[in-house]
Amino acid sequence: MNSLAIIVAVALETILVHSQGVLLTLIPLLIVLATLLPYAARGYPLGATLVLLILQTGTLFHPVFAEGGGLILESRIIFIGLVSMYVCILILPKVLRQQDRRLFSTAMLLAFLLFYAAGAVIVSGIGSSGLSGLLSPDHLTVHAGQVQ
């Protein structure tokens, strides 16, 4: 039973570490897709982007990222700000009654991509500064000893 717990813990940690790259790629692709679609069809890509952005921000609070270097606190703050900014972008056209103006919402989404790119660079810096070493055999052995 202990070996199963170790395997599950290591598998979850591996998925968590490698999911950052997938999310960093998928979120901008969904935003670009949403800008290309007609205004009425944007709901699903924009909603999926919000869910993935919240998921990505949540993964930064996992203890495995505490070993990632000094940029983890900054990354958490930046991605909380990005989630807040994205929610405002989704709500602002309705508040300002600019729903029919495609240029307004498209420009805001493309401006968001610039801020997201800056946040992605910081998260990528965390990955290159220490997370790649988490999958080394030495780390997995130590981690396996902590699970027991």
What are the residue boundaries of the structural domains of the chain, listed by start?
A: 2-147
Q: What is the pTM of this model?
A: 0.70
User: Three-state secondary structure along the chain?
Assistant: CHHHHHHHHHHHHHHHHHHHHHHHHHHHHHHHHHHHCCHHHCHHHHHHHHHHHHHHHHHCCCHHHHHHCCCHHHHHHHHHHHHHHHHHHHHHHHHCCCCCCHHHHHHHHHHHHHHHHHHHHHHHHHHHHCHHHHHCHHHHHHHHHHHC
pLDDT digit of tens for each residue in the chain (148 aa)?
467 767 776 776 666 666 777 778 888 999 999 888 887 788 888 888 998 888 888 877 776 666 655 677 888 888 899 999 999 888 887 787 765 567 777 888 899 999 998 888 877 766 555 444 444 444 444 444 444 4
